[in-house]
Amino acid sequence: MSNKKLISFINAENEMAGSVISLAERYSCEGADGLYLYNFTGDEKSREEFLAVVRQIEKQIDIPFVIGIYVERFEDAKKALYTGASKVVIRKALLPEEKELKEMIARFGREKLVIEIDMKADFQNAEKLDSFYDLGFGCALLKHIDTTKSFSDAIAGTKIEVMVRDGLIRNDLAEIFSYPTVQAVMTNYFEEKDIYKAKRALKRQGIAIEVFESLIDFSDFKLMDNGLIPAVVQDYRTNEVLMVGYMNEESYRKTIETGKMTYYSRSRDELWLKGETSGHFQYVKGLMLDCDNDTILAKVRQVGAACHTGNRSCFFKELAKKDYISANPLTVLNEDYEVIKNRKKNPKEGSYTNYLFDKGIDKILKKCGEEASEIIIAAKNPDAEELKYEIADFLYHMMVLMVECGLDWNDITKELVNRR
């Protein structure tokens, strides 16, 4: 049985962009399984402003999100999904014309389309819910529900995926999740509350939901003489080593419970929640144990600096170095991108890169087109050496285009992940 999802929703209507972005990032770090961001304002200006905020959020979070927006045309749904959203929510009361809806279904498929239904204004039985599936929607988002037999009957056996949006003021979260057809609950109830604590309580009640759980008991760890085990901490995206800390059983248990790295301070002889005073928390993405059971590897999302000196990593003092050629694709592409970005910010006389920026977007596009053509020609040659040169030329000019248009490699890689 697949896990049920606890999703935090944010109503972005009449909210400051900074507040929406900050709240979305906090939910992403503190245990939400996903986000539902919505603004159903109908005017074009508000819609574009909301999409711009969502694009900023997409850069900051690493959990899936659903977007609710006023969809009138195929292009509206396309723009919404191109933010990186996994689904777009369309209100039943604001359904687009049949021609536009059919185009959306043909282009994106039912798994991308959600119909939002107000159960108080338009109560649905299972037969009517199924009619939305037949129309082309893969999911129904139900709001203003009452956990009664009539609600249970309405969703029992329906072939459309069911999600519920609820403030959890009158309804009980575990009771909503107890309905077999309810796959996710969207709520703003946990804006100031501990999401992990709620999910652990659901787990104890037999609800299949994702929580941090240690697959190996602490008693099986091989500890040092002082009863501690070292933890090497890495950035979960770049694998950069950030620091080394030490954990005892209590700090390990706290880390599992809270999703935040908690250590044992040898100097202060007490537990130490990383970031408690500085705000530089380490949100756990994964924990692994080495082959001898004597060292933990923690992959984290680091907020701010890991080192008390203010450096990103504690490992900044160079001891010895030998020149070598780094051929790590991600490192090379990121470094080259940063050089190009720096050229735009700090022009250098005689720089070909600055020549392209000075000539503008049309010149950059022309060069990208030329280099793409060179790749095609080189690919017809049995000697792959020429092809690698042309691909390298194209990648360089493409990165110039990326800088000119305000994209970076994170944007590209996240889009590739979204397409999996």
Q: Give the pLDDT confidence score for residue 124 in this predicted structure.
A: 64
* Pair 53, 189 in one domain: yes
* Pair 40, 121 in one domain: yes
In a domain, 213, yes or no: no
How many structural domains are present in the chain?
A: 3
* pLDDT above 80: residue 273: yes
For residues 32 and 195, the answer to whether their CB atoms sit within 8 Å is yes
* Pair 199, 80 in one domain: yes
In a domain, 402, yes or no: yes
Q: Indicate the helix (H) or strand (E) that contains 416.
A: helix 409-418
No. of helices (H) and no. of strands (E), the chain: 14, 14
CB contact set of 349 (below 8 Å; sequence gap of 6+) = none
Q: Give the pLDDT confidence score for residue 128 in this predicted structure.
A: 87
Which CATH number fits the domain that encloses residue 402?
1.10.287.1080
Q: Give the pLDDT confidence score for residue 134 in this predicted structure.
A: 93
In a domain, 177, yes or no: yes
Q: Give the pLDDT confidence score for residue 63 in this predicted structure.
A: 94
Residue type, 320: A
CB contact set of 46 (below 8 Å; sequence gap of 6+) = 39
* pLDDT above 70: residue 53: yes
Q: Give the pLDDT confidence score for residue 231 in this predicted structure.
A: 98
Residues of the chain with pLDDT > 70, as a percent, come to 98
Q: Give the pLDDT confidence score for residue 123 in this predicted structure.
A: 66
* Pair 183, 144 in one domain: yes
User: Could you tell me the residue range of the domain that residue 333 belongs to?
Assistant: 329-418
In a domain, 229, yes or no: yes
More confident residue, 156 or 417: 156
Q: Give the pLDDT confidence score for residue 106 in this predicted structure.
A: 94
* Pair 296, 341 in one domain: no
Could you read off the pLDDT of 382-406 as tens digits, one per residue? 777 889 999 999 999 999 999 999 9
Q: Give the pLDDT confidence score for residue 1 in this predicted structure.
A: 56
In a domain, 319, yes or no: no
Query: pLDDT class for 381, splitting at 50, 70, 90?
Result: confident
* pLDDT above 90: residue 29: yes
* Pair 184, 237 in one domain: no
In a domain, 34, yes or no: yes
Q: Give the pLDDT confidence score for residue 151 in this predicted structure.
A: 87
Place of tokens 């080189």: 378
User: Chain-wide mean pLDDT for the chain?
Assistant: 93
User: Of the residues 169, 204, 239, which one is the last residue of a structural domain?
Assistant: 204
Mean pLDDT score, 81-95: 93
- What angle is formed at CA 399 by the lines to CA 393 and CA 402, rounded to 5 degrees? 145
In a domain, 295, yes or no: yes
Q: Which of 175, 179, 165 is nearest to 117 (CA)?
A: 165
Could you read off the pLDDT of 114-158 as tens digits, one per residue? 999 998 877 667 678 899 999 999 999 999 999 888 888 889 889
Q: DSSP labels for 353-371?
A: HHHHHHH-HHHHHHHHHHH
Phi-psi region of 11 (alpha: psi -120 to 50; beta: other; left: phi over 0): beta
Could you read off the pLDDT of 322-345 as tens digits, one per residue? 776 667 777 889 899 999 999 999
Residue type, 147: T
Q: Which of 34, 138, 21, 33 is nearest to 90 (CA)?
A: 138
* Pair 180, 232 in one domain: no
Query: pLDDT class for 194, splitting at 50, 70, 90?
Result: very high
* Pair 253, 348 in one domain: no
Residue type, 214: S
* Pair 34, 104 in one domain: yes
- The token pair at 355 is 């020549």
* pLDDT above 90: residue 373: yes
* Pair 198, 225 in one domain: no
* Pair 154, 124 in one domain: yes
- The token pair at 179 is 């309905």
What span, in angstroms and rounded, lies between the C-alpha atoms of 321 and 317?
Answer: 11
User: Of the residues 153, 181, 204, which one is the last residue of a structural domain?
Assistant: 204
Strand ranges inside 294-395, DSSP E = 296-302
Which CATH number fits the domain that encloses residue 246?
3.10.20.810
Q: Give the pLDDT confidence score for residue 413 in this predicted structure.
A: 86
In a domain, 307, yes or no: no
Residues of the chain with pLDDT > 90, as a percent, come to 82
* Pair 26, 69 in one domain: yes
